[in-house]
C-alpha cells in the first residue's frame, strides 16, 4: 500500500518527502484554507509540486460539470501532471467521464459507500477516495465499508485505485492495508505517529548509551 500525505503544509510535505516513504500528496479546500491566507492557492500548489513531484491531487470548488471542467483546465495549466479531485456528485461524475476521455487523471472524493465507489469507477475515475474517519464519526464501521469496496474491486477486476482517506489514527492505516486499499492518504501527525514505537525509542537510547560507554572506555576514561 502506497502512502500519500494529506495536507497543504509545505514544511510537513518537505519533511516527509525527505524520509522517502511517501509517494504523493492530496489536498482539499479545507486543508488549503489552513495555510497562509495571503498566499495564492496556485502558488501553494505549484510550490508543493516543485518540492515533491509525484502524485498531487488538487480539488475543484465548483458544483457544475462545465465549471469543474474549466477549473480542471486551470489547474492543469499550473502543472500538466495534476490529478483533478472531484466530489462524488452526479455533476462530478460528468466531469470525471469527460476528463477520462481526455486522458486526465481524476480522484473522486467524498466517497462513503460501495455504490458510490462503483459509480465513480465506472465514470472513469483513476482514484476513488473512501473517507474512513468521517464514516466512523456517524457511527458506521469504516473498516467494513472499505472491506466491501476492496472485495468488489477484486471480484470485478476494476482498474481504478482505492485511496483510504480521512485517516485519523494508525489503526485506520492498518485497516486500509488489511482490506487491500492501494493507497492511504494520511495527515502529517498520523504519519509520524505510525513511525513511532516505545521499544524503538528505548532500544535506540540503550544502544546510544552503550556506544558512549564503549567510546569512553577506549579513551581510558
| Grid cell for residue 109 | 472524493
6 near ligand E4P (CB under 6 A) = yes
In terms of Cβ atoms closer than 10 Å to its own Cβ (0-12, 13-18, 19+), residue 186 is buried
Least distance from C-beta 16 to ligand E4P, angstroms? 15
7 near ligand E4P (CB under 6 A) = no
Q: Which residues 31-90 are close enough to bind ligand E4P by CB under 6 A?
A: none
Q: In what helix (H) or strand (E) does residue 191 lie, and over which residues does it extend? A: helix 188-195
Which of residues 62, 100, 118, 133 is near ligand E4P by CB under 6 A? 133
116 near ligand E4P (CB under 6 A) = no
Question: Would you say the C-alpha torsion 130, 177, 13, 42 has a positive or negative sign?
Answer: negative
DSSP character at residue 82: P
CB nearer ligand E4P, residue 42 or residue 134: 134
Q: Whole-angstrom Cα distance, residue 64 to residue 90?
A: 9
Which of residues 131, 153, 162, 175 is near ligand E4P by CB under 6 A? 131
Q: Whole-angstrom Cα distance, residue 120 to residue 160?
A: 9
166 near ligand E4P (CB under 6 A) = yes
Q: Which residues bind ligand E4P (CB under 6 A)?
A: 6, 26, 28, 109, 129, 131, 133-134, 165-166, 185
Amino acid at each position: 500500500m502506497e502512502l500519500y500525505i494529506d495536507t497543504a503544509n509545505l514544511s510537513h510535505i518537505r519533511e516527509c518527502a525527505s524520509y522517502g516513504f511517501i509517494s504523493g500528496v492530496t489536498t482539499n479546500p479545507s486543508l488549503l484554507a489552513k495555510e497562509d491566507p495571503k498566499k495564492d492557492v496556485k502558488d501553494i500548489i505549484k510550490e508543493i509540486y516543485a518540492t515533491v513531484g509525484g502524485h498531487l491531487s488538487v480539488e475543484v470548488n465548483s458544483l457544475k460539470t462545465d465549471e469543474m471542467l474549466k477549473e480542471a483546465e486551470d489547474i492543469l495549466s499550473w502543472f500538466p501532471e495534476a490529478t483533478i479531485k472531484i466530489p462524488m456528485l452526479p455533476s462530478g461524475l460528468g466531469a470525471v467521464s469527460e476528463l477520462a476521455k481526455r486522458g486526465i487523471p481524476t480522484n473522486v472524493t467524498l466517497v462513503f459507500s460501495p455504490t458510490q465507489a462503483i459509480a465513480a469507477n465506472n465514470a472513469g475515475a483513476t482514484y476513488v477516495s473512501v473517507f474512513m474517519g468521517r464514516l466512523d464519526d456517524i457511527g458506521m464501521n469504516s473498516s467494513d465499508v472499505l472491506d466491501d469496496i476492496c472485495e468488489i474491486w477484486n471480484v470485478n477486476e476494476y482498474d481504478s485505485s482505492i485511496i483510504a482517506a480521512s485517516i485519523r489514527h494508525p489503526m485506520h492505516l492498518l485497516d486500509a492495508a488489511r482490506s487491500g486499499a492501494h493507497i492511504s492518504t494520511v495527515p502529517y501527525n498520523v504519519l509520524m505517529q505510525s513511525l513511532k514505537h516505545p521499544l524503538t525509542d528505548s532500544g535506540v537510547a540503550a544502544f546510544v548509551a552503550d556506544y558512549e560507554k564503549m567510546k569512553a572506555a577506549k579513551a581510558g576514561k
